A and B are shown apart, each in its own frame.
Chain A
Amino acid sequence: MSIALDQAIELVTQEADLLDHGEFTQWLSLYTTDGLYIVPIDPSGDDFEKTLNYAYDNAHMRKLRVQRLLGGRAISAMPPARTVRLLGRYRLLDSSDTWCKLRCAQILTELRQGRERYYAANITFVLVQTDTGLKIDRKIIRLLTSTEALTAVSYIL
């Protein structure tokens, strides 16, 4: 029984909801132990380990990132920007009974100190079946503007 599109959508929608509502600790539990959260710069490359990224987070770095957002000691995240993100244009690129690859679009609006900013991205998820259900094994966030000058992103895309 291959993983179905609606199962995949359910998980990534849950992730988006947790991030927009600041439920960062719960967000951590959506990932596998070896999972990676990656925001590349190069729009076409996929050798992320050997290139510079905006973020290349294993479990340890994800945990540190969450501690930073919740710790109240980062002036750019006191409080973190408020965000609303919409996912859509879902497409299951590959699927089996143990894993699937989902590609979708994300439009994110952030509000901080009276300034609204917008980030559009293509996101590719690799989701895997585990003993505790479907988990995120890889999230690759390809910002439309990755090769341009960004502004400070003191939250989780």
Chain B
Amino acid sequence: MLTLDPATLVGSDYADGSIYSNPDLYDMEMERIFMNTWIWVAHRSQLSEPGSFITTFVGPHPVIVSRDRKGDVHVVLNRCRHRGATVCEHKSGKASSFVCPYHGWAYGLDGALRSVPYQDGYSGQLDKAAYPLVRLRVEEYNGLIFATFNQHISSLDTWLGRARLWIDLFMKQGAGWPVKTMGEHRFTFPGNWKIQLENTTDAYHFPVVHKSFLDSVDSETQNIFDFVEGSGFVEDLGHGHSVMVMIPELVDLEANLEIPIPERFQYLADELSKDYPPEQVRRIVRAVGGSGFNLNLFPNLACSMAFFRVLRPLGVNQTEVRHIAIGMDGGPDIANEARLRLHEHFQGPMGFGTPDDSEAWDRVQRGSLAGRDIAILLNRGLGREARRESGNLFGDVSAETGMRAAYRQWLAAMTDTSFSGDAEA
């Protein structure tokens, strides 16, 4: 095999088309990115009580995320230490232990090996303490639970850095209640994971790809979504993270609540007014509409307006995307139902938005196979970038600033053989 040098494929404002289809590069990404940085695995509400668990993936690796009796969260590889079978095939549930179906090895929620049938066959030589389910490192920020194989990289707080402020803003969609997940759409598209990663801070495509969605909403909503030439911005938050603010007045959902309630939510406000004071009605209705920004967290999570978008690479040309609906845990049913209907309208495989996104990504994958040594352009908005006092680089809302940030981190991770590269803007 020729030596593959990722640095020859990605520049500061372009990438070679082969980054979407080179299988060796993909294998390298799985090692150097997905096994060496913080990967989002769950939201706190998915593990609401002791014994709750979900099964998911860190890159290609199946894992179990669970909450033990003491309330601690564990992420362990879903792989029996004996012969490698998965020990749990349920998507979620409650358990006190995980028992391998093959030979009956039983593990606690924290991964400890508790019992082995017919132990005499090991002549007293099996040290159970030496064979727990393999544990990943776990840290949590504001309900978002991340895991990593790498025991040496900096803390999650350090990794998220300047993105934390935006996570806090995003969680205001609880309108005072905790945020909870409310089901998810899952779909695959025949393309590379980075195509979806790029899309999250791509305002440029919105009025082009999502014409049919815009046709299906009222004129007031159309105006809100007419942001490409508006005053929004894309900001590089470091470590490959970025935020795209589409609707500046909806950055802080608790600010300027005196703005008139959109007509499409008037029915909701009227109904809520029967049970809640005016100020709280405004706060709930505002939360239902979602945040005015997409926060893209490298490499696999987006806090995207009103839902979590999670990507999982399945292969160099196959990606799974999850759109997780969120709502107010303990909030009014009517408000949460309104959020579900909004989610169904745009998101998921039968939404009015997602299938068109999927079509565009599918076509990037197929088109990018044409020819050799042809660049994918990432240079939009370069001439209009500036720096905030914080040092953050930002561009206009349709600038490709977020993609450039992600590829800078990609390059750092892919070329730093110590596997702990952090890219700063």
Cβ of B216 and Cβ of A68 under 8 Å apart? Answer: yes
CB-CB under 8 A for A68 and B352, given A52-B182, A52-B325, A52-B340: yes
Cβ of B212 and Cβ of A54 under 8 Å apart? Answer: no
Nearest CB of A to B187, in Å:
5
Cβ of A55 and Cβ of B344 under 8 Å apart? Answer: yes
Cβ of B185 and Cβ of A68 under 8 Å apart? Answer: no
Give residues of chain B (203-229) contacting chain A, Cβ–Cβ below 8 Å. Answer: 209, 211-212, 215-216
Chain A residues, Cβ within 8 Å of B349: 54, 150-153
Identify B341's interface contact among A56, A64, A75, CB under 8 A: A56
Complex Cα–Cα for A33 and B303 (A): 37
| Chain A contact patch, size range | 20 to 34
B344-368 contact mask (Cβ, 8 Å, vs A): 1 or 0: 1100111010111011101000000
B162-195 contact mask (Cβ, 8 Å, vs A): 1 or 0: 0000000000000000000011111111000000
Complex Cα–Cα for A53 and B215 (A): 22
Cβ of A54 and Cβ of B350 under 8 Å apart? Answer: yes
Identify A75's interface contact among B188, B344, B356, CB under 8 A: B356
Complex Cα–Cα for A65 and B213 (A): 10
Cβ of A75 and Cβ of B360 under 8 Å apart? Answer: yes
Complex Cα–Cα for A88 and B8 (A): 57
Nearest residue (CB) in A for B312 is: A149
B322-341 contact mask (Cβ, 8 Å, vs A): 1 or 0: 00010000000100110011
Nearest CB of A to B347, in Å:
9
Nearest residue (CB) in B for A51 is: B183
Nearest residue (CB) in B for A149 is: B186
Cβ of A54 and Cβ of B189 under 8 Å apart? Answer: no
Identify A68's interface contact among B215, B340, B343, CB under 8 A: B215
Cβ of A152 and Cβ of B358 under 8 Å apart? Answer: yes
- B interface size (C-beta, 8 A): 35
B91 touches A (CB below 8 Å):
yes
CB-CB under 8 A for A50 and B337, given A67-B216, A68-B352: yes
Cβ of B356 and Cβ of A71 under 8 Å apart? Answer: no
B139 touches A (CB below 8 Å):
no
Binding site secondary structure of chain B: helix
Chain B residues, Cβ within 8 Å of A55: 344, 350
A39 touches B (CB below 8 Å):
yes
A130 touches B (CB below 8 Å):
no
B320 touches A (CB below 8 Å):
yes
A91 touches B (CB below 8 Å):
no
Chain B residues, Cβ within 8 Å of A151: 187-189, 349, 358
Nearest residue (CB) in B for A73 is: B211
A120 touches B (CB below 8 Å):
no
Chain A residues, Cβ within 8 Å of B189: 151-152
Q: Measuring CB to CB, which residues of chain A are less than 8 angstroms from any residue of chain B?
A: 39, 41-42, 49-56, 61, 64-65, 67-68, 71, 73-77, 113, 147-154, 157
Q: Measuring CB to CB, which residues of chain B are less than 8 angstroms from any residue of chain A?
A: 91, 182-189, 209, 211-212, 215-216, 320, 325, 333, 336-337, 340-341, 343-345, 348-350, 352, 354-356, 358-360, 362
Known: A67-B215, A150-B188, A152-B187. 9 other contacts (CB 8 A): A50-B337, A52-B183, A52-B340, A52-B344, A53-B340, A53-B344, A74-B352, A76-B358, A152-B349
A-B contact pairs, 27 of them (CB 8 A): A39-B350, A50-B337, A51-B183, A52-B184, A52-B185, A52-B344, A53-B340, A53-B344, A54-B344, A54-B349, A55-B344, A56-B340, A56-B341, A68-B216, A73-B212, A76-B355, A76-B356, A147-B91, A149-B187, A150-B187, A151-B187, A152-B189, A152-B354, A153-B355, A154-B355, A154-B359, A157-B350
